[in-house]
Copies of this chain bind each other. A is one copy, B any other.
Amino acid sequence: MPKPIILITNDDGITSNGIRKLVDLMTGLGDVVVVAPDSPQSGMGHAITVGDTLRLTPNHMFEGIEAYECSGTPADCVKLAKHQILKNRDVSLVVSGINHGSNTSISILYSGTMSAAIEAAIEGIPAVGFSLCDYSPTGDLSHVDKFVTKIAGESLEKGFPRGIALNVNIPPKQHEEIKGIKICRQANAKWEEDFDKRVDPHGREYYWMLGNFINHDKGEDNDEWAIANNYVSVVPCQFDMTGHYAISRLNDDWDI
């Protein structure tokens, strides 16, 4: 039986530690192809390149692995992989990451890591985005192996509904062993923005965006709770953004 094809991408760029870890782990599960941005793309959300050209360049960083670097966004990488590089091959799984930084809760909307996974889900390919809740680009990844392998393995073997992408967050390396894996909902938390206003050498003002993450969610069934309690969180995500509950409310209240 041929091995499953696993497409790997990320948003920190092809040279990041996180993607190298994914390549190492996924070669044990299937035939790996890498298509990743040629530079960091954090905070790109679900951006795509519509008004500019895209480049794809073969890359030889990973010994014995077919790899390409792409000038576009994480979502562009998935589109180019599916419709150009792998157009005659069936992809069994897309894995994205491992992101250097948390993508729990509302951060999914800003996350390039998850945009690649959701783009794959739109294409009907099972997909998982992995993030380490440690913002350092050299964050310790030595504790993630069994969780990443387990989740990718279960995704290949038992799967999940078509159109779903999994948002996986892994607690940072601590003294204590991680307790296990929890299937969760997205926590109701948000970034409270603040801006650091400065003056440039030419006397003109500019801003740096800052943010504090505020968790309003008191439940124990969400990803923020899981991470705070030293579990790996797995949130199944969909791309239907309709607030279905609000349809009847609008039909009742509005005079249209």
Q: Using CB atoms and an 8 Å cutoff, list the residues of chain A in contact with chain B.
A: 40, 42-51, 53-56, 75-76, 79-80, 82-84, 106, 108-110, 115, 118, 122-123, 150, 154, 158-161, 163-164, 180-181, 183-186, 188, 190, 193-195, 197, 204-209, 234-247, 249-251, 253-256
Residues of B within 8 A of A247 (CB): 183-185, 236
Residues of B within 8 A of A82 (CB): 193
Docked complex Cα distance between A40 and B186 (Å): 32
Chain B residue at minimum C-beta to C-beta distance from A42? B50
Q: Smallest CB–CB gap between A167 and chain B, Å? A: 8
Assess A208 versus B246: contact at CB under 8 Å? Given A43-B48, A45-B75: no
Q: Is the CB of A195 within 8 A of B236?
A: no
Residues of B within 8 A of A209 (CB): 48-50, 54, 76, 79
Q: Is the CB of B251 within 8 A of A183?
A: yes
Residues of B within 8 A of A205 (CB): 55-56
Q: Is the CB of B234 within 8 A of A238?
A: no
Which residue in B47, B164, B180, B186 is a CB contact (below 8 Å) of A45?
B47
Chain B residue at minimum C-beta to C-beta distance from A237? B241
Chain B residue at minimum C-beta to C-beta distance from A251? B183
Q: Is the CB of B51 within 8 A of A109?
A: no
Chain B residue at minimum C-beta to C-beta distance from A241? B237
Q: Is the CB of B46 within 8 A of A40?
A: no
Q: Is the CB of B164 within 8 A of A243?
A: yes
Chain B residue at minimum C-beta to C-beta distance from A158? B253
Residues of B within 8 A of A190 (CB): 122-123
Residues of B within 8 A of A204 (CB): 55
Chain B residue at minimum C-beta to C-beta distance from A112? B47
Q: Is the CB of A154 within 8 A of B186?
A: no
